[in-house]
Each structure stands twice: as structure tokens, then as C-alpha cells.
Amino acid sequence: MQIRSWADYEYFYKNSLEHSDEFWSAVAEYKIKWRKQWSQVSEIDFNLGKINWFLGAELNVSENCLDRHLESGKGDQIALIWVGNHPNEEKIFTFRELYREVCRASNALEALGVEKGDRVVLYLPNIPEVVISILACARIGAIHSVIFGGFSAHSIQSRVNDCGAKLILTATGTYRGNKWIDLKANIDEAMALGCPSVTKVIVCERDSAHGFFSQSYDLKWAEWLDRFGSENHLGASHSAGDPLFILYTSGSTGKPKGVLHRMGGYLTYAAYTYDIVFQPKENDIYWCTADVGWITGHSYSIYGPLANGVATLIYEGVPNYPDPGRFWRIIDQYQVAIFYTAPTALRILASAGDDFVKKYSRHSLRVLGTVGEPISPETWQWYDEVVGEKRAPIVDTWWQTETGGILISPLAGISPTKPGSASFPLPGIEPKILDDAGKEKLGSGPGTLVLARSWPGQMAGIYGDPERFYKTYFAPYPGYYWTGDGAQRDDEGFYWITGRTDDVIKISGHRLGTAEVESACLVHPFVSESAAVGVPDPITGESLQIFVLLKEGLKGSEQLAQELMDLVRKEVGSIVSLKKVYWVPGLPKTRSGKIMRRILRKMAQGEKTHFGDLSSLADPAIIEMILAILE
């Protein structure tokens, strides 16, 4: 089942909606090696929040990414290229070598007592061990939960405890540009805060320059591998419905949610979408710049390309180290054919000037991708003209942690494109745009983006909280999956994603909930209440600003602002930087007590009069009072 032309797309799109089960059966048979066939393709009920794919089927996810390619004669082809932060630091693994490493890690994990269904937290940067340990967990059926290195000890602790992890795998640290990030110190702090379910912390040594102070719970990964890591491991057969991983992500309210993906549906969808969107060819080198700690790294640095037998490159460092030519240099050095990055990286690199790009040939590039936030037409054009010299089609891929894989995107070199539009839904995906009353809008116009039917990559639940799963995603518009994004369809049916309509913000493509920032501020004894907002920013997409109401009789100061900035980083992580703090005498609220953040967002952008509908505002006088302060 290949989709290689626009005619194929149109045929399969129609077919996928009319004969959904047959369509997904064909996809699953074509993309995945199953140990046992399914007895039922899907069992879906949006009204109950029930999502099940490929019932009764069995597979081993790791076998699909590795063993299968050895059997088909690809053992000596490149599977993984690791590029370190420092130029010229690299490690390359063929499929056979990666297979051996994953077998060793699987055996070593089992020797540590890790069993199927156990949760393993991976607080690992973009180093080969993150790929190896993810595939090892998948192989033995342990549920991995990667935590991005930019999250603090407090964030680690709450995630570890939420999923009840048995083990933490981490590294001494990682290099990002000129900085050394001491990851182990964050783990030690999290352990000191209390992670009662964790029996051991396994440490990978990033290099010989940084050792670690040995705690009673520490084990050196390399030593353990030497002792127990034999090179063969027979991956067991797992049910398609067994959990593959949990990835925490921010929502509008409350603590981050443990998004749960299951083996069969997730892998099928990652493999299928990787193939049709990027259109890889034999011997391609593919590079996704995302950190493995985010969903993009899961689906499109690891599972998608490896399930398709495509060589994947991961990079440890930042785009502008040692200079803003680094990405293009890596592309030339490894002859990267398919390149997938985020608009925020493109904005940083575009602002550094075209000379850094033009210094390199970039002739190997065939496909360019973008993800994570809306891309402006200007940035899209720069990507197209300067980076790709109009030779490489752009795929603007819209999706979410919850969707497991890409839902709306052009197919490289096949679909028509428009700068700034994610274009059309993939076969099997049925987006709808709803108006304020929740009615489907036909034809063109803006509204709330929802999905009218399930797809195999759809998250299966929130770990440990089925009620929250239903309430968050299915209760807002009964019968639909609610995305939290706004979108617009134009006269020709192209989709344009306008961004979140809830209190989720994207800073440099990193997803963050305003609620997390606000509860961090509340830890400060002087703070009575606060409201965080995302304000448009030319480089980071959005920047974080906060309106703070202090307790009776207290006054704001530079020093207090600094304390709050430090506090937020300590509570949430280094990924958050508070750009501005406003001291206000009160917050605009509805009569039912909900903060009206859209008003504050406008104020932060300098708006003084046009705040839209204020009829639900409890105390209209607050507007003038806040404006007077901002003056």
C-alpha cells in the first residue's frame, strides 16, 4: 500500500473514510511485522474515551525497528548517526550494531529486575543511549517515560511519582553549546525530594571529564552492560494493546498529563506517516533536530524512521554552536536528504544571515519538514528559497503529543503547498472545523479544530486517570476529539493552523501550560494570585509574561521579579524563562471567577482599547487600573 502520487492520495483518502477498517488493516499489514493477526481492527467510543486498535494482535516493536532489517539484508546499513555538541564528535551504528546494543541493554535491564509493564524513566539527552534504552524497554515490554533534560528536579519528581517508576536511567550530563548541563544533579535532587518507587538510578557517563558522586542507589550503566549485557535477546511477543510509553505533556489546567501510547497502534501510525509524509528512499540519511524528550523525537527520530529501515541522525547540541552554520555543516557532512526541524530554529538561523547557509552546499537535501508551531509565510519562504533553493519541497506537519503522529501535512513532492499552510489531512484523518456553538462549519472559515474519527496513533489514555482523559478531549464537543487548536480552511480546502485556543503556550516550540507557571509562582510567600500569558515573540514564537497580585500591603520590586523568575525555573525547569513580570492590583475575571487571559495577553502586546467582548467581566474597573500600571 504505497502513496506515491496525488492520484494515490485522492484515492486512498476517499477509500480510508469509506472503508476505514479495510484501509487500516492494509496499512498495518504493509508497515508492520506482526507475530499474531488482529481479530478486530478497532474498538472506538469517543463518548466513553475508549480507544483500542488491532485487538488480539501481537508484535514486538523493537523487532520491527531492528531484527526485521537484519533479516532483509540491511544489517550493514547505517541505522543511527549520533553527532555530539562539539564538532567532529560522532558515533555511527549499523542496524546490526544497534541491534546488538539494544539486546545488551535489554538483558541488562532484565538483570536489574525490570519486567514487562514496569515504568522506566529516561532522563537522558540526545546521546545514543536514549535510542538504545527506548528500544530496549520496548523489547522487553517495559513502559518508557522520557523526561526532557530541561525539566527541573520538582518536575522530575512529580512525573516519576505519577507513573511509579521502578528505575531511572540518566546521564552524568550533556553539552549544549558552551554549557555543561549537570543532569545527574537534577536526579539527585529529585531523589532527595522523594521518589519512593525508584529502586536504582542507572548512570551513563557522557565523557571522562565528568564523573558523579556515587549515591547508594547509583549504578554505572557501562559496568552493568559489561556484566549482564549479552548480545542476543529474544524479544517476547506483546499485545498490540500493551502500553509502549508515557510522555508527560502540558494542558490548560492542572499538572502535566501522562499521555499513554500503545504498541500496535502507535507503531503502525508512526511508520505509516513517516513513509507517506517524508517519502524516504533507500539509503537516505534523515535528520530530525528535535530532542528525544519530546514526542517529535519519539515518533520521528526513533520509531518512524527505524521501523521504515531509514538511517536516523540525532544531534546533541544547539543550532548556533559553534556558529549558526552548524546545521548546514552537519547536512553536508552526512549528506542528509530529509531534514525536519522547528520554525523557532529557522527563525534563529534566518536572523543570523544567509551567509552561514550559503557557505555550505546542501545539495543532498531533498525534503524539508517543519513542526511544533505555526510557521509564518516569511519563514516558510526563507526555508524554501535560501535553505532548499526551491529544490526541496516543504512539509509543514501539524500534530500533537496526543496524536502520536502527523495528522495534517503535505506529502513531500506530491501535495500542493502554500507558505504557512499544513495543507491537507492524511488518509484516514477526518478533521472538522466547529463554530462557537459546536456546529460543523462547511466550506471556508475559522473555528475550533477537532477530529471526527480515531486513527491508530491516537493516545489510548492518560496514565492512571481515565476520567481526565474523557473530560479533557471528548467532553468539550461530544463525538469529537478536541485538539485545543484553532484552524481555518480556505476556499481550496487547505488547512491553516492558527495556534492554541486554550492556556497552552509554545516557547521555542516547547509546550508549556500556564497553570504550571502559576502554581510555581504561588510557592512564593508574597504571591496571592497570578496569571501567565504567552505573548507573540519574533524568535521564540511566544514569550512568557506574568501578571502578579501580591498579598495585602506588599509591593513589587526588581528583586522580587528576579526571585519569581528563579523560582519558576526551579519549580518547572530551565526551559521556562519569564520574560516580564507585571505587578497588578487585581486580575480580570469572569463572574464565575475564571481569569480572562485573553485580555491580559492583549494588554501585554500594548493594546489599550480593543479587548473584545467584555460582557462576562465581573469588575470592568480592573481594566483601567491595570492599564494605568502598564503605563
Binding mask 407-446 for ligand WTA (x = CB under 6 A): ---------------x------------------------
Q: Out of 62, 133, 397, 454, which residue is the one contacting ligand WTA (CB under 6 A)?
A: 397
Closest CA to 538 of 373, 312, 395: 373
Q: Which is nearer to ligand WTA, 401 or 530 (CB)?
A: 401
CA 179 to each of CA 86, 176, 201, 344: distance values in angstroms, whole numbers, following the listed order: 11, 5, 24, 20
Q: What size, in residues, is the chain?
A: 631
**Helix (H, G, I), strand (E, B), or coil: what is residue 222?**
helix
Q: How far is the CB of 340 from ligand WTA (least distance, A)?
A: 11
Stretch that binds ligand WTA, among 87-95, 397-405, 466-474, 554-562 (CB under 6 A): 397-405
Q: Report in angstroms how near the CB of residue 21 gets to ligand WTA at its nearest.
A: 27
For 138, phi then psi, to 5°, come to: -60, -40
Q: CA 413 to CA 393: how far, in whole Å?
A: 6
CB of 54 to ligand WTA, least distance (A): 23
CA distances from 587 to 253, 532, 609 (A): 18, 11, 17
Query: For ligand WTA, which residue has the nearest CB?
Result: 401
> What's the rounded Cα separation, in Å, for the pair 527 and 214?
38
Residues 508-527 that bind ligand WTA (CB under 6 A): 511
With binding defined as CB under 6 A, does residue 373 bind ligand WTA?
Answer: yes
For position 401 contacting ligand WTA by CB under 6 A, the verdict is yes
- Per-residue x/- mask for ligand WTA, residues 250 to 289, rule CB under 6 A? ----------------------------------------
For 318-346, the three-class secondary structure string (H helix, E strand, C coil) is CCCCCCCCHHHHHHHHHCCCEEEECHHHH
Among 400, 508, 514, 545, binds ligand WTA (CB under 6 A): 400
Helix ranges (DSSP H) in 153-303: 153-163, 183-194, 221-228, 263-278, 295-297
Residue among 162, 188, 396, 518 that touches ligand WTA (CB under 6 A): 396
Given 293, 372, 447, 456, the residue binding ligand WTA (CB under 6 A): 372
Binding residues for ligand WTA, how many (CB under 6 A)? 23
Interior angle at CA 583, CA 579 and CA 588, nearest 5? 100
Q: Which residues contact 404 (CB under 8 A, 6 or more apart)?
A: 261, 265, 266, 269, 270, 295, 299, 456, 457, 458, 459
Q: How far is the CB of 576 from ligand WTA (least distance, A)?
A: 15
Q: Is 502 in the site for ligand WTA (CB under 6 A)?
A: no
Of positions 319, 484, 534, 541, contacts ligand WTA by CB under 6 A: 484
Q: Parallel, antiparallel, or unpaired: how do β-strands 367-370 and 461-462 relate?
A: unpaired
Residue 286 Cα distances to 316, 566, 579, angstroms: 15, 38, 35
Helix ranges (H only) for 341-494 are 343-351, 355-358, 377-382, 466-473
Q: Is 249 near ligand WTA (CB under 6 A)?
A: yes
Q: Which of 204, 295, 350, 395 binds ligand WTA (CB under 6 A)?
A: 295
Residues 591-610 within binding reach of ligand WTA (CB under 6 A): none
- Name the residues that contact ligand WTA, by CB under 6 A: 249, 294-296, 371-374, 396-401, 422, 483-485, 497, 499-500, 506, 511
